[in-house]
Amino acid sequence: MRLPQETIRAKRDGLSLDPKEIRAFVQGLSNGAVGEGQAAAFAMAVFFRGLSLPERVALTRAMAESGRVLTWSLPGPVLDKHSTGGIGDTVSLPLAAMVAACGGYVPMISGRGLGHTGGTLDKLGSIPGYDATPGLDAFRRVVGEVGCAIIGQTADLAPADRRLYAIRDVTGTVESLDLITASILSKKLAAGLDGLVMDVKQGSGAFMESLPAAQALAESIVTVAGGAGLRTAALITDMDAPLASAAGNAVEVAYAIDYLTGLRREPRFHAVTLALGAEMLVAGGLAPDRDDAAGRLEQALASGRAAERFARMIAALGGPGDLLEKPARSLPEAPVQRPVHQTGTVAAVATRALGLAVIELGGGRTRPEDAIDTRVGFTDLAGPGASGGLLGIVHAADEAAADRAETSLRAAYRMGAAPAERRAVIKRVSADQRPAHRAAAPGREPGAAAMS
């Protein structure tokens, strides 16, 4: 078996790695035998040289099996969704509750912000008392009783991925198709899912800016997941503008609450949320087709059942019991909130620049150990074609930070003629053709179910 440095050298030189060699390197990531510099060098070698399909499958399996792999004994399908990341992409928060309200079980393991994009785990960190890293027993209990739980990676689940994930964030290797595929799927395989739906973002605010690159990633994820026995569908969705009109941590939680309670349902955000949820319900055998599934999800929203699931999840994991009724009482607010106006019509948005501006405000990281300010970000962000004059509202820790953020916000917008045509928010779907999971009792209420 090669030493870690020899494995790095082999990949640097474009050689193929066999599964045993990959497994040994991943084991070193888990037990500390592979140093920080070696992990970074391996990520960079993969970034430049790439992995073959067998290598991707081997890396994914090895990272999934570097810790515990969950098994479930529940009266319904175990389903999940994952996004490759974007700006204003807070879909996971309402979607998990919506699918749970329709009979699915959603054990969602999420990550911190990566590169210029926000992370679901950081957003949850803005909720007082919410335990995003509970023990596995608590995680399983909440999934069984509520129907959903959104947490971060624990020390037990895919520990090799957790270490490599943090290194990718600060070494310029986030965009590697191979490492994205292995990172996403290793966590999902460890979670013991029956079905997965991927949201592959494409555009100026995505890691995959071109449609061919996004399609390559979607196909990679579906193919590798299928090879590992996990039914997966992938949607390619637009990220040439923020998905929601909020970007940050606490401000996105507030947005998700408004969405669940019906105070605000913006069309682009709603379309993506419904499309992803519909794929999940179909994959789990909870709906016969996408149209029926979308109707069930709409009903879960309209009836308040989805909001109720979200509230129960928050409380079950230590958060405030009245978060949905009184979000302003619990969510932190930035002391400076400054509207930014500009005349004219929005022709285009440099979406990545908005994500970087959130980081500059303190809402993201430049080093893995950095703390973040969950209060900061932007709200009421204008989209292409908007002509009301308001570009957005800056939420900052102080006036100096607000000045810098205002400059960045203005620079991210190009004013001019309205876009010639509205961009399609959902562009393409890749789906595994294996049979859907058959739910034992579609529409059943999650309860205290047995878990193995």
Catalytic residue ranges: 80-83, 120, 168, 183, 187-188
At residue 23, φ and ψ (nearest 5 deg) are -60, -40
Contact 173, 180 (CB under 8 A): no
In this structure, what is the dihedral angle of CA atoms 270, 222, 283, 158, given to the nearest 10 degrees?
A: -90
The strand pair at 346-349 and 413-415 is best described as antiparallel
- Give the separation between CA 181 and CA 151, rounded to whole angstroms: 20
Q: Count other Cβ atoms within 10 Å, centred on residue 152.
A: 21
Q: Residue 239: how many CA atoms within 13 Å on its side-chain side?
A: 33
* Residue 401 vs residues 30, 245, 397: alpha-carbon distances, Å: 39, 20, 7
Q: State the pairing for strand pair 377-379/390-396.
A: antiparallel
Query: For residue 286, which amino acid is it?
Result: L
Place of tokens 């150990």: 369
CB 142 within 8 A of CB 105: no
Number of Cβ atoms within 10 Å of the Cβ of 448 = 8
On whether the CB atoms of residues 22 and 57 are closer than 8 A, the answer is no
Please check whether residue 130 is in contact with residue 317, taking contact to mean a CB–CB distance below 8 angstroms. yes
SS3 325: coil
CB of 208 closer than 8 Å to CB of 84 = yes
Alpha helices in 289-372 (DSSP H): 290-302, 305-316, 327-330, 351-358
Which of 436, 95, 439 shows the shortest CA–CA distance to 286? 439
Distance of CA 234 to the CA centre of its chain: 13
